[in-house]
Amino acid sequence: MTRIDLTGSDASGETAFLLLGSNRPPREHFLQQAIELLGQLPDTHITWQSPVLRTPPYGYTQQEDFLNQVLHLKTGLLPRQLLRAVKETEQQVGRRESFRWGPREIDIDIIFYGNWMVQSPELMIPHGDYRNRDFVLKLLLEFDKGLKDPVTGEALRDRLQELERKTHEGLHEPGGQG
C-alpha cells in the first residue's frame, strides 16, 4: 500500500467524504440505515449530509435508478479502519454480492480522506472514478462550491463543467452508479 499524507497531519480528527448509493427497494430505508450505523462508528461524527439525488444506473442499465447521497465525516479512524467499517456497515444493511454495476441494497465509497492519497488493491483515495461521475461532483459541491481535489488541487466545479461540456458534445455518458 502506498500512503501519502499531503498535509503532514495525523489522522486524528481527519475529514472524509463518503458516497452512499442504493437502488434496491426500499432505497430510502437502506440509505437511512447506513447513515445511522455510520453515525455510531467510534470516534466518528457525521457533520453534513447532502440532499439525496436520483441517478440513472451506469454500465448495466436494466435496473432501477440509484438514490445517492454524500456524507462529510470527522473521524479518528485511519483509512483502512474506515474501509473496514464501511464494508461492515454494508453487510449490516444487507448488501448482497452482485455482478459489476449490478443492483445493490447499499454501496458506500470513500471519496476523500482529508488530503491523503492511498493506493492499494483494496482501497484508492481519492476514489478512482469520482472525477468522471457528474452526480458525485454535484453532491460534493453542495457541501462547498469551492471544493478542490485534495491531491491535484483542481476545482471540482471546473471538472463538472468539463464533464457537462463533454456530455453536451456526446463524448461522455452522464450519470454513473452509486
* Helix, coil or strand: residue 96: coil
C-alpha pair distances (Å), 48 with each of 18, 51, 88, 101: 11, 10, 21, 27
Euclidean distance between CA atoms 121 and 105, whole angstroms: 24
Residues serving a catalytic function are 95, 104, 107, 109
CATH 3.40.190.10 fits 2-131, yes or no: no
CA-angle at 142, arms to 137 and 145, nearest 5° = 80
Task: Tell whether pTM > 0.95.
Answer: no
Where do the structural domains in the chain lie, given as residue ranges? 2-131
Q: 178 or 137: which carries more pLDDT confidence?
A: 137
Q: 53 or 129: which carries more pLDDT confidence?
A: 53
Per-residue pLDDT at 2 exceeds 70: no
- For the stretch 28-67, pLDDT in tens is 999 999 999 999 999 999 999 999 999 999 888 999 999 9
